[in-house]
Amino acid sequence: MRIEAVGGDITTQQVDVVVNAANSALLGGGGVDGAIHAAAGPTLLAECRELRRTSLPHGLPAGDAVATGAGELPARWVVHTVGPDRRAGQTDPDLLASCFTRSLDVAAGLGAASVAFPAVSAGVYGWDVGEVARIAVAAVRAWSAAHDDAPVTLVRFVLFGDAALDAFRTALASA
């Protein structure tokens, strides 16, 4: 599997899956979540509302992932994952790693070959972007090693801002 880090807008990525750093309500929010919902259009919100009405009445728990269509995004699907909120005391790095591995599980189950991730839990959820980068890269590498027959051949971390991009490039450069 190829793993890369690029700067840019995750909503413009032409990949099979765009991962959304969602909140547990799945109904849109700020940051990446708000940008994805805005770019995807109303069908994404309608699918999320249906998930809440049916299979996820209490919302999506931190560390888990679920898929919807991608609406008007150039991707085929959106995989929503809820990162741990450090400000609320959710400081377990395994819970953060689970966001990346569960998202890859869901993407592979869809038959996706390419997945774009944001820096889940960095920013408003209070995790240091360097720590997020180290955990994310390690989780993706471990998942790849354990799933060599999976359809996912590309993971692209799409970062907004130089600090996040530098942190992910540094994490990728370490063995």
Among residues 32, 37, 14, 39, the alpha carbon closest in space to that of 119 is found at: 32
CA distance 118 to 158: 5
- Between 28 and 175, the more confident residue is 28
- For helices 42-53 and 31-40, the axis angle rounded to 10 degrees is 110
Where does the pLDDT of residue 175 fall: very low under 50, low under 70, confident under 90, or very high at 90 and above?
low
60-113 per-position pLDDT tens digit: 999 999 999 999 999 999 999 999 999 999 999 999 999 999 999 999 999 999
Q: Which CATH architecture describes the domain 2-173?
A: 3-Layer(aba) Sandwich (3.40)
User: What residue spans define the domains of the chain?
Assistant: 2-173
Q: Confirm if 112 and 150 have CB atoms less than 8 A apart.
A: no
CA 77 vs. chain centroid, Å, equals 12
Active-site pick, 33, 92, 149, 162: 33
105 labelled catalytic? no
Q: How many CA atoms lie within 13 A of 46 on its CB side?
A: 8
106-131 per-position pLDDT tens digit: 999 999 999 999 999 998 899 999 99
What is the structure's pLDDT at 123?
A: 86
What is the structure's pLDDT at 114?
A: 98
Using CA of residue 24, residue 94, residue 146, residue 3, what is the dihedral sign? positive
What is the structure's pLDDT at 135?
A: 98
Strand order in the sheet with 2-7: 2-7, 154-159, 114-117, 17-22, 77-82, 65-69
